[in-house]
Amino acid sequence: MSNAADGAQSAPGHCPGTPVHEPGLLKNTQLAQYGFIALPLAFAGLPVYLNAPTFYATSLGVSLTSLGIVLLALRIIDAVQDPFIGSISDHYSGKRAWIIVIGLLLLGGGFWMIFNPVATAPLAWLAASVFICTTGFSVVTINLQALGGIWATTTHDRTRITTWREGYGLIGLLFAAIAPTLLGANAAPEHAFKLLSVFYLPLLAIGGAALLLWLRTAQIARTAAGHSGAGWRDVLSSPWRRQFFAISLLNTFASSIPAVLVLFFIRDRLDAGHLTGLFLLLYFLSGAISMAIWQVLARHLGKVRAWALSMAVAVVTFIWAALLGPGDIVAYAVVCVLSGLALGADLAVPPSILADHIAQTRRQPEASRMFAVMTLISKAAFALATGLALPALGLVGYHPGEPMTPALGISLSIVYAVVPCVLKALTLVWVLAKESELSLDRAQPPLLEKL
């Protein structure tokens, strides 16, 4: 399909640029069936990348240097393989249920392997198990997002789809943050992590079964067997998609910097490392609660404008973190709650915008690849933030865990809070300047035309 068609062709019964306020057609039970799998998917991330390295270093004696090298290599592989997973999923879209089953088996098997290591060659075992686990995670995640994107429904319901999915994901993050502590309260670390894997597998099985049952009755836009639409060059050739993906990359990069530095900021700048779990709980809980608010705002303001509003909320609330210092616990808790409000829109609105684009341009055969790009953007942004933020602080003399001088404290605050807010503000200006091009459900003139 030509690029011109991407910008002009619309779904039957809808003209781009006109108001879209259809009532929701999907039942909450359908959305719950579809979205619940996001809970065990999100749950897996923290144990794999945060708890597993500590477990292998302390209980199995693996060196931190070796762990760092192996995990970095695995992260690169994990990101690079996403486009291939998207292509395969599109090519065999008629067998998507089997693809999901394979992904679930890889994810569950790899997760169990990570926390049930063999006594010999633990580093090799970790590398193999993390590769299996993350591959399964990517397979399920990409297909889950693609199915949500091609679920035959209204533009408002597409926001409900992403809201339910990402809401369950935030609940999964909350569980993952507290589960190791609860399980380890009365057990040695090696037994606690084994219990974690035993707890995780039934949760994953329930989520997988719910998703497969939903898939049997869901109205999914299907393509001919073996048809995967155009190639990668055409998927990325649309001016709308290039601009949307570029904005998403900058926005996600801005959000990834504080995600990389949050543990250091809480421990070394606020001197409140013992409250890390509480701060994260407040942030993610605020994001989960805000999902319903952003769903309403997206419906009445338009999705692009709601997304822009969330960026403004993030900047206005998070910039205050730069002014905080040792002992400012209550103030930082307030920042976590208020900035967490923007998280809900960041997670739910962009996938819904992309789903609208797929529906209006009838690009369902390439849905998996388009959402694979979104997954790749998320991983690339986090890797970029890690590769730039930490070395930048190292250049000014910051060493995690060591006493902070006033100058180093200011440097950490600038990189943690000011730089992300500047990047987020630039993204906001970009979105407002291109609102008329990005909007697919716009009912009013672009905001900048009214100023």
Identify the band that residue 243 occupies on the pLDDT scale cut at 50, 70 and 90: very high
- 383 domain-assigned: yes
- 111 domain-assigned: yes
- 358 domain-assigned: yes
User: For 179-234, how does the pLDDT look when each residue is reduced to its tens digit (9 = 90+)?
Assistant: 766 766 666 667 777 888 888 999 999 999 999 999 998 887 665 444 455 566 67
| Same-domain check for residues 236 and 133 | no
Most confident by average pLDDT, 128-137, 194-203, 401-410: 128-137
| pLDDT for the residue numbered 7 | 37
| Number of structural domains in the chain | 2
User: For 372-387, how does the pLDDT look when each residue is reduced to its tens digit (9 = 90+)?
Assistant: 888 889 888 888 888 8
User: For 87-132, how does the pLDDT look when each residue is reduced to its tens digit (9 = 90+)?
Assistant: 898 888 888 899 999 999 999 999 999 999 887 889 999 999 999 9
Residues contacting residue 173 through CB under 8 Å, at least 6 positions apart: 42, 43, 45, 46, 284
Domain boundary among 200, 221, 242: 221
- 130 domain-assigned: yes
| pLDDT for the residue numbered 184 | 62
Tell me how far apart the alpha carbons of residues 249 and 376 are, in angstroms, rounded to a whole number.
9
| Same-domain check for residues 172 and 255 | no
Dihedral sign from CA coordinates of 93, 96, 102, 107: positive
* Nearest CA among 370, 366, 368, 365 for reference residue 354: 370
| Same-domain check for residues 209 and 238 | no
What percentage of the chain has pLDDT greater than the value 70?
A: 86
Please give the C-alpha separations between residue 159 and each of 32, 173, 246, 355, 420, in angstroms, as whole numbers. Answer: 14, 21, 21, 9, 26
pTM score of the predicted model: 0.80
